[in-house]
Amino acid sequence: MFDKILIANRGEIALRVVRACREMGIASVAVHSTADADAMHVRMADEAVCIGPPPSGQSYLSFPAIISACEITGAQAIHPGYGFLSENAAFVQAVEDHGLTFIGPSAEHIRIMGDKITAKETAKKLGIPVVPGSDGGVPDLAAAKSVAAQIGYPVIIKATAGGGGRGMKVARDETEIEIAFRTARTEAKAAFGNDEVYIEKYLTTPRHIEIQVFGDGKGKAVHLGERDCSLQRRHQKVLEEAPGPVITAEERARIGKISADAVAAINYIGAGTIEYLYENGEFYFIEMNTRLQVEHPVTEAIFGVDLVREQIRVAAGLPMSFGQKDLVIRGHAIEVRINAEKVPQFAPCPGTITQYHAPGGLGVRMDSALYDGYRIPPYYDSLVAKLIVHGRDRPEALARLSRALSELIVDGVDTTIPLFHALLAEDDIQAGAYNIHWLETWLRESFAG
């Protein structure tokens, strides 16, 4: 087992890893920019190293700075959290080249799944169901029209190197294909430096379902059920729950086995998430995230496992501490993402926290690095907290969420807390009757004018 782990991240996820290390008796090293000198993860870690100025490119994304911090402190492994360098194959290679351990999958697996076309081709080979579409990048408009005619409208054009909803355009019929194709390529080039796009059938009312998988790197893997992440705004998740409100036990077992078998076949190591669109009883592969997800706590809640602890164990060469038969769903869990943003514009609102009070009680977990007097810097993601609740069933979890939100105080900046109070008053949310378009429609109707 490792003696010391460096955490190449910040905020609540860095603090999450610090806590796991402490429970395992492992020393932790926090890295931070000058803007994060007073951050909670810096205060809580056993050691801290400043790695640069506020811009991410000069600190949290700097290979030399992070690897140098390992050499200075004697850390043997790096946990990347999520975001930043967590899915950067070149960084993983650099870590390994310096004799360090990356707590996550191999550089090869990150490369394969990081390119959406290669990922889709790999998924097909592994027996994962995929959305009908082009067999690779679409070189020109004529090819785009041909593919669209073959699979049928509506279609969605996506950037090969895309993410976060950028470089994605829908064409509902042949009159829209040209502008959608050209716009997607332009956005892709501007955002990712790569204008290659591909085309898929556009599902009209799907849900976003993701399967948590975990592999030991030696041909064994399990799935930990599904999370429903359909409540999204501009392709950014807002609320997640597990298990999914509409997924049956039979569907879960079927897609779970397909997913686990696929990652076992490639000797995948650590945590990963295979994301699907789900419509009319069928699952269609979107992508695989080769890291820990923001919403991993809801899975931990219903299975009673610590995914970060398990990541560290298998990275150190130990076997998984559970098998598929050990993983039994108990109850229902929901997570809401608290962002420092002003609703309904969702404009970031950095500033100083004048009062912070976390909710408590049975089945309530608050993952946050906030504290009274903390100044939220303007340089990073606006996510400042995650409120997770667990109940014996979905109605109890919803009631617990409402109660916990009423206790939560974050003063000094605008947050998305009012959004969740409003959502819980909606019948569709209470019934679980929503899809990936529901929230966007609700926001337009609720804040029209």
Pairing of strands 4-7, 27-33: parallel
Would residue 291 show up in a list of annotated catalytic residues for this protein? Answer: yes
Instruction: In whole angstroms, give the CA distance from residue 245 to residue 426.
Output: 16
H helices, E strands: number in the chain: 15, 22
Helices (H), 204-342: 249-265, 296-303, 307-315
Beta pairing partners, 228: 209, 241
Q: Provide CB contacts within 8 A for 388, sequence distance 6+.
A: 297, 298, 301, 333, 334, 335, 364, 365, 366, 367
Long-range contacts of 138-145 (CB under 8 A, 24+ apart): 138/181, 138/197, 138/198, 138/199, 141/177, 141/178, 141/181, 141/182, 144/177, 144/181, 144/199, 145/174, 145/177
Helices (H), 4-88: 11-23, 40-44, 63-73
- Report the candidate in 355, 363, 347 with the shortest Cα–Cα distance to residue 408: 355
Question: Which one of 291, 313, 337, 400 is the catalytic residue?
Answer: 291
Question: Six-digit token pair at 436?
Answer: 């990936």
DSSP state, residue 133: B
Axis-axis angle for helices 174-192, 141-151 (nearest 10)? 120
Instruction: In whole angstroms, give the CA distance from residue 171 to residue 360.
Output: 47
- Report the candidate in 301, 122, 270, 298 with the shortest Cα–Cα distance to residue 210: 298
- Report the candidate in 324, 218, 224, 212 with the shortest Cα–Cα distance to residue 269: 218
DSSP state, residue 35: G
Beta pairing partners, 289: 273
**Catalytic (active-site) positions:** 291
